[in-house]
Amino acid sequence: MTSSINTSMGLREWAMLIVLSVLWGGSFFFVGVAVTDLPPLTIVLLRVGLAAIALWSIALIMGLRPPKSVGVWVAFLGMGLLNNVIPFVLIVWGQTQIASGLASILNAATPIFAVVVAGILLPDERATPLKLAGVAVGFIGVVVMIGLPALGGVDSLLAQVAIIAATLSYAFAGVYGRRFKVMAINPIITAAGQVTASALVLTPITLMVDGPLDVAGPSMGTWAAIVGLAVLSTAVAYVLYFKILERAGATNLLLVTLLVPISAILLGSLFLNESLELVHLVGMALIALGLSAIDGRMWKRLIHTKA
């Protein structure tokens, strides 16, 4: 069961979405540092495990307590599987087989699935022609910005299917997560419960695949990157995630995957001396055009004005 929400975003929701995209865009930098010393699944487990510790610490300081209901914890487990375990494992494996540029483009297809899945399952998030057109234009913008060459080559078809399956899992997670508003659970508790469930599921998988962690092995820079990944790109990010989901719905929330490449490229140009070229600006403009169509208000005003 889900409760109706306001599916048009105001200035506050757009601001939260942009901050979320910066936090998730920064995760590429943190992972890029950490992957030099640690295997992928270990990074994912540390990410959700340390995020769980940070979130429960904040919750306890605020006087919030873990829910006692078994049903709530089952919901946390479902959200953790759909939003962390399944997509993280699929993406990590997929990126061992295909280029990161292609993986980013495939991941940016998330809003397409979100519009379809939410349109079918949620009566208050029905797809409209304008919204579908906006998603298509935004996706083209991501392709242009990251680069058409990323689509070429002889990359593994199975790996590409894995990334697409991950985006589909994200779309279902956005719909599934609407239930936490009905349960009246604080977004901090929801975020903490999700990453806790994810850590519990990932621990045996990581131990089987990567083996035990050598704590003394990674450098201080790697540990700093892990802390940034866990606290900023996971703990803080998921509090925003559930707040936006509660206020604006699954379709609007998952637009963040169109904004993440913009954040990653801008952060790279600011802090890693990477070049910001004309093609990036064209791609960003197309994404902005697509987002305006999905939001719909500006286009509706233009249509009414002409009428």
Confidence of residue 1 (pLDDT cuts 50, 70, 90): very low
Of 34-48, 114-128, 169-183, 203-217, which gets the smallest average pLDDT? 114-128
Confidence of residue 199 (pLDDT cuts 50, 70, 90): very high
For residue 171, how many C-alpha atoms fall within 13 Å in the half-sphere facing its CB? 23
pLDDT > 70 fraction of the chain, expressed in percent and rounded: 80
Q: How far is CA 75 from CA 66, 67, 196, 248, in A?
A: 13, 11, 12, 20
- Which has the closest alpha carbon to 104: 264, 235, 290? 264
CA distance linking residue 105 with residue 17, whole number of Å? 19
For 91-106, what is the mean pLDDT? Answer: 69
Of 40-49, 83-92, 129-138, 184-193, which gets the smallest average pLDDT? 129-138
Tell me what pLDDT residue 53 has: 96
**The residue to which tokens 């510790």 are assigned:** 53
Tell me what pLDDT residue 55 has: 94
Tell me what pLDDT residue 272 has: 62
Taking the domains of the chain in order of start, what are their residue ranges?
11-306
For residue 42, how many C-alpha atoms fall within 13 Å in the half-sphere facing its CB? 19
Candidate ranges 30-44, 106-120, 125-139; pick with highest mean pLDDT: 30-44
The rounded mean pLDDT for the chain is 80
Contact 102, 151 (CB under 8 A): yes
For 3-18, what is the mean pLDDT? Answer: 72
Residue 205 tokens read as 């998988």
Q: Which residues of 9-27 are buried (b: 16+ CB within 10 A; e: fewer)?
A: beeebbebbebbbbbbbbb
pLDDT in tens, 51-64: 999 999 999 999 99
Over 70: is that where the pLDDT of 70 sits?
yes
- 292: how many CB neighbours lie within 10 A of its CB? 16
Tell me what pLDDT residue 2 has: 47
pLDDT in tens, 129-169: 777 777 778 778 777 766 655 555 545 778 778 888 888 89
Residue 224 tokens read as 């700093």
pLDDT: is 72 or 2 the higher one? 72
Of 26-30, 97-101, 291-295, which gets the smallest average pLDDT? 97-101
- Which has the closest alpha carbon to 186: 3, 55, 39? 55
pLDDT in tens, 238-261: 899 888 888 877 777 777 777 777
Longest CA pairwise span in the chain (Å): 68
Tell me what pLDDT residue 7 has: 56
For 80-102, what is the mean pLDDT? Answer: 78
Residue 203 tokens read as 């621990």
CA distance linking residue 180 with residue 2, whole number of Å? 9
Q: Which amino acid is at 28?
A: F
